[in-house]
């Protein structure tokens, strides 16, 4: 069973309160001071996992605009094998994967790795950023948002 595709603007115009809430959640981590390049890396990774082409393209373009190195952008999907990522970025990407794919919850090891790189407040903000991109991805996947050609 298929359904009609919706444009990104439909979300904003049809349910402006829901759109505003997700948008506000999306902005919190950056406003709290977490590195914007790091946040784009986690948004790219979550969007890859969730298969949201619209969000993936959007965040790749945002990462490029922020000056994120091309090799990091292109290697996010295989970050474990790529030496370009710092221990902090690796912890954030592992945390992103743990919170995006939840078949068995979040492991103590994953929490320990993230906690070693982020203080308690930073980790809460990082978690909110991951929750936000996963929310966007769910809308994108459900309504078949497609990136512009």
Predicted confidence at residue 105, as pLDDT, reads: 81
CA dist 72 to 19, 56, 133, Å?
30, 14, 19
**What's the pLDDT band for 19 if we cut at 50, 70, 90?**
confident
d(CA 131, CA 3): 25
Condensed to tens digits (0 to 9), the pLDDT of residues 70-129 reads 999 999 999 999 999 999 999 999 999 999 998 778 889 999 999 999 999 999 999 999
Check residue 79 and give its pLDDT.
97
* Residue 114 buriedness (CB in 10 A; 0-12 / 13-18 / 19+): buried
Region of poorest pLDDT, from 1-5, 10-14, 25-29, 94-98: 1-5
pLDDT value, residue 8? 46
Please state the pTM of the whole predicted model. 0.87
Question: What confidence tier does 9 reach under pLDDT thresholds 50, 70, 90?
Answer: low
Q: Residue 2 has what pLDDT? A: 47
Model confidence at 148, in pLDDT bands (50, 70, 90)?
A: confident
Retrieve residue 41's tokens.
């890396």
Provide the 3-class DSSP secondary structure of residue 84: coil
pLDDT of residue 146: 81
HSE (side-chain half, CA atoms, 13 Å) at 89? 23
């Amino acid at each position: 069973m298929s359904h009609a595709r919706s444009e990104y603007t439909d979300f904003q115009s049809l349910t402006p309160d829901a759109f505003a809430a997700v948008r506000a959640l999306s902005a919190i981590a950056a406003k709290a001071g977490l590195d914007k390049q790091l946040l784009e890396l986690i948004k790219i990774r979550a969007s890859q996992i969730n298969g949201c082409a619209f969000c993936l393209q959007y965040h790749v373009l945002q990462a490029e605009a922020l000056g994120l190195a091309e090799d990091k952008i292109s290697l996010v999907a295989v970050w474990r094998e790529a030496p370009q990522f710092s221990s902090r970025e690796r912890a954030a990407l592992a945390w992103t994967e743990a919170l995006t794919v939840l078949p068995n919850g979040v492991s103590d090891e994953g929490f320990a790795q993230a906690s070693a790189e982020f203080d308690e407040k930073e980790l809460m903000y990082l978690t909110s950023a991951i929750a936000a991109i996963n929310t966007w991805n769910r809308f994108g996947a459900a309504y078949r948002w497609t990136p512009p050609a």
